[in-house]
C-alpha cells in the first residue's frame, strides 16, 4: 500500500513541477538561438515603406497640431501593450488570446509618466463591415473595463485640429 501512495505522490509532484515550468516559460514560444549571424532564415521580411495608411498619417498630423505639446501620440498600439491581461482568477492565456491581434489607431499618453490617457480609433469605411463592427464593440468593452476612454473619430473630424483638440479634451474630461 505504501508503494502506491509514494508513486501517487511522485506523479502529483512531477505534474505540479511541469505546470510551474510551463507557467514561468509563457511567451518563450521560439527557443532558437538567434545570437549567431545566419545567412538563411525560416522567414523573409522587408521594411515597410509607410508605417501608417494615408488617412492615418493625415490624422496623426492633425493630432500633433491639436495636442502634440500636451500628449505623446503613439500610433497602432496593440491591446496587449495597453491593457493588462494577467488578472487574478482568470485564464491568462485565454485573456491574452482575446486581446491579441487587436490594436488601436492612436493612444495619447501624458508626458510625465507616459501613462495612457485616451485611445483614438479612426473610423474609416472598413468599420461599416459587420465583422469589424463586432470587433469595435469588443474593443470598446475591453477599454471601458480597463478604465481607458475611447474616442472614435471620422474622416471629417480629423481634418480640423481645433475641433479635434476640443473632442479630445471633452473625452479626457469625461473620464
**pLDDT, tens only, 66-117:** 998 999 999 999 999 999 877 788 888 888 888 898 999 999 999 999 999 9
List the beta strands (DSSP E) in the chain: 71-78, 103-110, 116-123, 150-154
3-state secondary structure of 128: helix
Where do the domains of the chain lie?
Answer: 54-174
pLDDT of residue 33: 59
Please provide the average confidence, as pLDDT, over all residues in the chain.
Answer: 85
Q: pLDDT at position 121, please?
A: 95
Give the model's pLDDT for residue 10. Answer: 81
Domain spanning 54-174, CATH class: alpha beta
| Range list of β-strands (E), 27-175 | 71-78, 103-110, 116-123, 150-154
Beta-bridged to residue 110, according to DSSP, are: 71
Residue 77 neighbours by CB under 8 Å, 6+ apart: 103, 104, 106, 107, 119
pLDDT at 61 over 80: yes
pLDDT at res. 156: 79
Query: pLDDT of 12-55, one tens digit each?
Result: 777 778 776 766 655 545 555 556 665 677 888 899 999 998 98
SS3 30: coil
Centre a 10 Å sphere on the Cβ of residue 77 and count the other Cβ atoms it contains. 16
Q: Residues 107-131: what's their mean pLDDT? A: 89
The Cα–Cα gap between 74 and 67 comes to: 12
Cβ 132 vs Cβ 152: under 8 Å: no
Q: Alpha-carbon dihedral of residues 86, 109, 142, 125, nearest 10 degrees? A: -140
pLDDT at 1: 63
For position 115, what pLDDT does the model report? 96
91: left (phi over 0), alpha (psi -120 to 50) or beta: beta
Q: Which position has the higher pLDDT, 161 or 40? A: 161
pLDDT at 56 over 60: yes
130: confidence class by pLDDT, cuts 50, 70, 90:
confident
Amino acid at each position: 500500500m505504501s508503494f502506491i501512495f509514494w508513486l501517487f505522490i511522485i506523479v502529483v509532484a512531477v505534474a505540479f513541477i511541469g505546470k510551474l515550468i510551463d507557467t514561468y516559460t509563457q511567451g518563450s514560444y521560439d527557443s532558437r538561438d538567434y545570437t549567431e549571424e545566419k545567412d538563411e532564415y525560416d522567414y523573409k521580411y522587408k521594411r515597410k515603406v509607410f508605417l501608417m495608411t494615408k488617412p492615418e498619417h493625415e490624422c496623426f498630423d492633425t493630432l500633433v497640431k491639436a495636442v502634440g505639446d500636451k500628449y505623446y501620440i503613439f500610433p497602432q498600439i496593440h491591446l496587449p501593450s495597453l491593457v493588462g491581461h494577467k488578472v487574478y482568477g482568470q485564464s491568462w492565456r485565454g485573456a491574452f488570446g482575446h486581446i491579441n491581434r487587436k490594436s488601436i489607431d492612436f493612444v495619447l499618453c501624458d508626458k510625465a509618466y507616459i501613462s495612457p490617457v485616451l485611445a483614438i480609433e479612426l473610423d474609416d469605411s472598413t468599420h461599416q463591415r459587420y465583422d469589424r463592427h463586432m470587433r469595435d464593440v469588443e474593443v470598446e468593452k475591453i477599454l471601458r473595463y480597463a478604465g481607458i476612454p475611447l474616442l472614435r473619430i471620422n474622416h471629417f473630424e480629423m481634418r480640423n485640429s481645433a475641433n479635434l483638440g476640443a473632442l479630445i479634451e471633452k473625452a479626457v474630461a469625461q473620464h
